[in-house]
Structure 1
Amino acid sequence: MGEVRIISETADTVTVSRSDWEAILDRLDDQRDRARIAQSEARPKTGVTYTAEENRRMVLDDVSPVRILRERQGMTQAALAEAARMSKPYLSEIEKGEKPSSVEAIKSLAVAPGVSMDDPIDLGVGRETLAQT
C-alpha cells in the first residue's frame, strides 16, 4: 500500500478514497492474521497430533470430535470444562455420547481460553462420506 491520500479532514473525520480505505482494511486483516499465526506458533505443542486417516477412523468409530479437539490441545477434561465454564461430568457425557451437546455448550467449547479451533475436525462431514474416502 502506498501513501494514503487524504481528501478532506476535520477535527472529527478524515475522508479518503474507497480504494485507500479498502487497502487500509486489507492491511489490518493481514496484521491480525500474522498475529494469530504467531500466537498459534507460540502455543506449547503439548497436544496429540493425529493424521487425516486417524481422524477419519476415530470419527467412523464414533470418537467424539470434542474429545479429539481436546486431546489435540493436550487438555484434560477438567481443564477444558473449566475453560468452557461447564461441569466436568457434563463434558464427559458429551464426549461419551451419553448426552447431546447444546448449541450453548458448543459455543462455550469453541471460545474457551486455551482452546484452538485452528485445525478443527469437519463436523459437517457425514459418516457415509468418510466411509467412501
Structure 2
Amino acid sequence: MTLYHFLIQATFSYLGTFTFGLFINLPQKALNSSSLIGMAGWLLYWFIFKLGYGSILGNFMAALLVGILGLFCSIKKKMPTTMFSSGLVPLVPGASSYQALSAFINSETTTAISKTIHVAMVAGAIALGYVTAQMIADLIYKRKNV
C-alpha cells in the first residue's frame, strides 16, 4: 500500500461520486461535499479490506461513515440528507454483480449462487450501515430535545 495507490483510490472514488452526482443533477453546493464523503467512505472500505477484515465489515463501516458525514453536511448546508447519499456509490458491488450474472449465463451454478449471496450480503451491509447512522442521529437528536 503505497502513496501512489492511495492517491489513485482517492482520486477515482472522488471522480466516480462526482460524475454520478452530475448525472443525477445534484445541486452545486452539495456536489463537492457528496464527492468528498464518497471518497472518505471508499478509503475507509479500502483500508479495512486491505487490513484483511473482509468486504462485508468494510462496506458496513464505510456506509456508516458516509451516513454520519452526510448528516453533518446536511445540518451544515441546511439540505436534506438524501443529497449526500450519493456518497454510497463507490461501495456498490457492481463487479461482483456482473460476475454473478456472467456465471449464471455460463451455467456455472455454484459460482453464480456464491457470488449472488456475496452481493446480497454486501448490499445488506451497506444498507445496515447507512440505517445505523440514521438511528444514531435520531438518538442524539431526541436526547437534545428531551
Which structure has more relative contact order (CA 8 Å, sep 6+)? It is 2
User: Which TM-score band applies after superposition, normalised by the shorter structure?
Assistant: under 0.3
Structure with the larger helix share = 2
Normalised TM-score (structure 1): 0.24
User: If each structure's strand is expressed as a fraction of its own residues, which one has the higher value?
Assistant: 1
